[in-house]
């Protein structure tokens, strides 16, 4: 049975084998039109057509330009069997993710009794990236599990005038499929508000707003931002899922491709967008599967390293599960971290001990941290916390002053905040030491 990768690669080669009509004039014109924020979508389209249509009045025998016939609304569906792989994960693994993990990732308790078998994955391709009522979702990509397969379905708007019909059909689709949750990547800020706006404009109920929503952009940043320079979905699919995915089409190119399609009727302009959208749905499923494995002791040994465990600790910290976050931070220290992340993990653990007044454990960590050679604010914090403990809990002013002195020297290179803090602390401790001596005499 062919991999998803093989199937997508075949689609890609078929697309690339065709002659792609790219007009530099249209590209440049579209860039200029995008700057006109006061124009509606219809105005932009008419302006684009008027500026790019090639007419030759000096040759009257040349027939006027006639765009190819367009299908007003199209529906595409690609089913993938559960036993095929996308990158290093098997599609069926998405069905193994428990509700408690989805709750941690989404921060929504409504996921507790749900899994991804009834979830709807959504990714939109639109006529603009800024949002607003003038932006139209011309391609709605949907992913879902049904009948022992994972489907990627796509509604494509071939005529802007048919948007109301597309919205009505989407509404019927959402209702009939009875989805119980929504999954997106940056959908809370972009996809869902935009789709809701289009439903409102066409006086249709938007039932997806009533469902729990996992926007995986936010947990993805917690899990991997400290490891990768980019948390774009495309980048995570390559790095985390190990999907053989190329940068098939830049997002900024998608709107002008659609407008040129409306101008010419050349569907070859749209095929790369369909491919891109399908890849985004599969990539979203893939990164969620790998992200969930980090929280599973069965899977994490195979799929997880120390930096991923650090990310899991951050996720737990963000939802207020302090004890669980400490569990993950301790595990990532056991696996081995960079000095900088090791300091960060120890700081978080020490705060937990401090909050619970487990002073022996907290002090032990602060002493470990002060021996680090890494210059960072977490290092300075360990000197500050240790000095505070010795001053206020142990009343060992001379030891506290020495720690504050060390912290002051280190702070001179990179932190004016800690420099001022240690300056005041040293002066106060000197006064306390002097008073202590006077009492003895």
Give the separation between CA 409 and CA 41, rounded to whole angstroms.
61
**Which residues on adjacent β-strands are paired with residue 142?**
122, 153
Question: 3-state class of 82 per DSSP?
Answer: coil
Q: Which two tokens stand for residue 223?
A: 């899990």
Is residue 416's pLDDT more than 70? yes
Return the pLDDT at 119: 98
Is residue 69's pLDDT more than 90? no
Is residue 63's pLDDT more than 50? no
pLDDT band (50, 70, 90) for residue 60: very low
Average pLDDT taken over every residue of the chain: 87
Cβ atoms of residues 174 and 207 within 8 Å: yes
Is residue 59's pLDDT more than 70? no
Is residue 370's pLDDT more than 80? yes
Return the pLDDT at 205: 96
DSSP one-letter code for 72: S
Is residue 14's pLDDT more than 60? no
Q: Which two tokens stand for residue 54?
A: 């090639």
E strand or H helix at 430: helix 416-440
Return the pLDDT at 62: 42
Return the pLDDT at 58: 44
Around 149, how many Cα atoms within 13 Å sit in the side-chain half-sphere? Answer: 10
Return the pLDDT at 1: 42
User: Helix, strand, coil proportions of the chain in percent (round to 5)?
Assistant: 60, 10, 30
Give me the helices (H) in 135-270, please.
163-177, 192-201, 217-224, 233-239, 254-264
Mean pLDDT across 371-377 = 87
Q: Which two tokens stand for residue 100?
A: 């408690």
83: left (phi over 0), alpha (psi -120 to 50) or beta: alpha
E strand or H helix at 155: strand 149-157
Give the separation between CA 216 and CA 285, rounded to whole angstroms.
10
Mean pLDDT across 92-118 = 96
Comparing 29-33, 57-61, 149-153, the range with the smallest average pLDDT is 57-61
Q: Which domains does the chain have, with CATH numbers?
A: 4-293 (3.30.420.10)
pLDDT band (50, 70, 90) for residue 25: low
- Longest Cα–Cα distance of the chain, Å, equals 115
DSSP one-letter code for 96: G
> Who has greater pLDDT, 53 or 245?
245
CA distance readout (Å), 380 to 217, 389, 399, 408: 32, 14, 16, 9
Is residue 148's pLDDT more than 90? yes
Burial category of 210 from C-beta neighbours within 10 Å (exposed 0-12, middle 13-18, buried 19 and up): exposed
Query: How many residues are recorded in the chain?
Result: 441
Residue 420 CB partners (closer than 8 Å, separation 6+): none
Return the percentage of the chain with pLDDT > 70, whole number.
82
List the end-to-end C-alpha distance of the chain, in Å, as a whole number: 90
pLDDT band (50, 70, 90) for residue 173: very high
Give the separation between CA 87 and CA 80, rounded to whole angstroms.
14
Is residue 10's pLDDT more than 90? no
Give the separation between CA 306 and CA 319, rounded to whole angstroms.
20
Cβ atoms of residues 283 and 245 within 8 Å: yes
Return the pLDDT at 223: 95
Q: What are the pLDDT digits (tens) for 126-139?
A: 998 666 678 999 99
Return the pLDDT at 6: 62
Comparing 65-79, 144-158, 376-390, the range with the smallest average pLDDT is 65-79
User: Which of 254, 200, 238, 219 is closest to 105 using CA atoms?
Assistant: 219
Instruction: Please provide residue 292's backbone torsions phi and psi, each rounded to the nearest 5 degrees.
Output: -70, -30
Return the pLDDT at 323: 94
Is residue 112's pLDDT more than 90? yes
Tokens 């990236």 locate to: 129
Burial category of 15 from C-beta neighbours within 10 Å (exposed 0-12, middle 13-18, buried 19 and up): middle
Give the separation between CA 153 and CA 172, rounded to whole angstroms.
14
pLDDT band (50, 70, 90) for residue 2: very low
Is residue 23's pLDDT more than 60? no
Is residue 211's pLDDT more than 70? yes
Q: Which two tokens stand for residue 18?
A: 């065709």
Give the separation between CA 62 and CA 244, rounded to whole angstroms.
47
Give the separation between CA 332 and CA 201, rounded to whole angstroms.
50
pLDDT band (50, 70, 90) for residue 13: low
Cα dihedral across residues 334, 87, 238, 79: positive or negative: negative
Q: What are the pLDDT digits (tens) for 240-260?
A: 999 988 777 888 899 999 999
Question: 3-state class of 156 per DSSP?
Answer: strand
Mean pLDDT across 155-168 = 97
Return the pLDDT at 36: 67
Strand (E) positions, 38-84? Answer: 73-81
């Amino acid at each position: 049975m062919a991999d998803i990768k093989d199937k997508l690669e075949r689609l890609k080669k078929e697309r690339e084998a065709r002659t792609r009509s790219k007009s530099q004039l249209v590209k440049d014109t579209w860039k200029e039109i995008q700057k006109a924020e006061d124009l509606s979508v219809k105005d932009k389209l008419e302006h684009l057509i008027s500026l790019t249509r090639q007419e030759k009045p000096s040759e009257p025998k040349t027939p006027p330009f006639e765009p190819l016939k367009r299908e007003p609304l199209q529906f595409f569906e690609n089913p993938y069997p559960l036993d095929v792989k996308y990158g290093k994960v098997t599609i069926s693994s998405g069905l193994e993710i428990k509700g408690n993990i989805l709750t941690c990732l989404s921060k929504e308790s409504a996921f507790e009794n749900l899994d991804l078998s009834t979830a709807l994955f959504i990714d939109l391709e639109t006529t603009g990236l800024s949002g607003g009522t003038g932006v139209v979702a011309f391609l709605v990509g949907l992913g879902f599990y049904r009948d022992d397969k994972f489907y990627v379905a796509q509604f494509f708007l071939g005529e802007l005038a048919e948007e109301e019909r597309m919205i009505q059909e989407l509404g019927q689709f959402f209702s009939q499929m009875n989805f119980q949750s929504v999954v997106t990547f940056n959908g809370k800020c972009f996809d869902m508000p935009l789709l809701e706006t289009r439903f409102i404009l066409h006086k249709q109920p938007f039932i997806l707003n009533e469902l729990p929503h996992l926007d995986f952009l936010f947990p993805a940043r917690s899990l991997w931002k400290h490891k990768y320079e980019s948390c774009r979905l495309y980048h995570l699919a390559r790095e985390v899922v190990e999907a053989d995915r190329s940068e098939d089409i830049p997002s900024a190119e998608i709107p002008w491709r659609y407008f040129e399609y409306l101008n010419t009727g050349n569907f070859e302009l749209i095929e790369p967008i369909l491919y891109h959208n399908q890849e985004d749905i599969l990539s979203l499923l893939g990164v969620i599967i790998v992200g969930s494995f980090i929280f599973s002791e069965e899977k994490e040994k195979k799929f997880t390293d120390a930096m991923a465990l650090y990310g899991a600790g951050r996720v737990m910290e963000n939802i207020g599960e302090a004890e669980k976050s400490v569990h993950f931070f301790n595990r990532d220290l056991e696996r081995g971290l960079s000095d900088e992340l090791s300091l960060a993990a120890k700081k978080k653990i020490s705060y937990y001990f401090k909050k619970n007044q487990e002073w022996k454990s907290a002090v032990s960590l602060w002493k470990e941290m002060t021996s680090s050679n890494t210059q960072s604010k977490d290092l300075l914090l360990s000197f500050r916390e240790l000095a505070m403990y010795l001053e206020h809990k142990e009343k060992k002013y001379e030891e506290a002053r020495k720690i504050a002195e060390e912290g002051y020297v280190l702070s001179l290179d990179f932190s004016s905040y800690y420099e001022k803090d240690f300056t005041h602390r040293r002066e106060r401790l000197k006064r306390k030491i002097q008073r202590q001596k006077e009492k003895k005499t």
